[in-house]
């Protein structure tokens, strides 16, 4: 998949896990080149639950997540991972837009 393209929802089920894992490993390798310690994990669980559990396990001080830039109506109807994470996280959360 070319860089910057979103994972298609019509993808085969195994690629829905394999592709994000590959992209995470590439990002981790780049950050590792700058001396940043990185660990990656792909999980099919609810993102907020998975991030809260991972933060607790790692005794994290900060979680950084991206915002999708959705409208207020879309966020209200579907819910925002960032907003839910901020209220449930055991540590600080940075939501980048």
Are residue 22 and residue 52 in the same domain, yes or no?
no
Are residue 48 and residue 22 in the same domain, yes or no?
no
Angstrom distances, CA of residue 13 to CA of 20, 24, 47, 55, 97: 12, 18, 18, 27, 28
Are residue 33 and residue 58 in the same domain, yes or no?
no
Are residue 36 and residue 57 in the same domain, yes or no?
no
Say whether pLDDT at 2 is over 50: no
Are residue 90 and residue 50 in the same domain, yes or no?
yes
Are residue 21 and residue 51 in the same domain, yes or no?
no
Are residue 49 and residue 34 in the same domain, yes or no?
no
Are residue 52 and residue 17 in the same domain, yes or no?
no
Domain range for 68: 44-97
pLDDT of residue 29: 94
Say whether pLDDT at 50 is over 60: yes
Residue 48, C-beta contacts closer than 8 angstroms, at least 6 positions apart:
81, 84, 85, 88
Predicted confidence band at 10 (pLDDT cuts at 50, 70, 90)?
low
pLDDT of residue 1: 42
Are residue 95 and residue 52 in the same domain, yes or no?
yes
Angstrom distances, CA of residue 96 to CA of 1, 16, 17, 35: 24, 24, 24, 22
Q: CA torsion sign, 9 to 11 to 16 to 21?
A: negative
Angstrom distances, CA of residue 70 to CA of 1, 77, 89, 93, 94: 24, 11, 22, 19, 17
pLDDT in tens, 52-82: 999 999 999 999 988 777 676 666 666 688 8
């Amino acid at each position: 998949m070319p860089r910057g393209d979103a994972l298609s929802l019509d993808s085969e089920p195994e690629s829905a896990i394999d592709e994000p894992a590959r992209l995470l490993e590439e990002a981790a390798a780049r950050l590792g080149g700058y001396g940043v310690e990185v660990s990656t994990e792909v999980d099919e669980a609810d993102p907020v639950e998975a991030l809260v559990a991972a933060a607790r396990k790692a005794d994290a001080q900060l979680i950084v997540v991206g915002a999708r830039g959705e409208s207020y109506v879309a966020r209200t109807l579907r819910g925002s991972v960032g907003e839910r994470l901020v209220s449930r996280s055991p540590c600080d959360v940075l939501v980048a837009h």
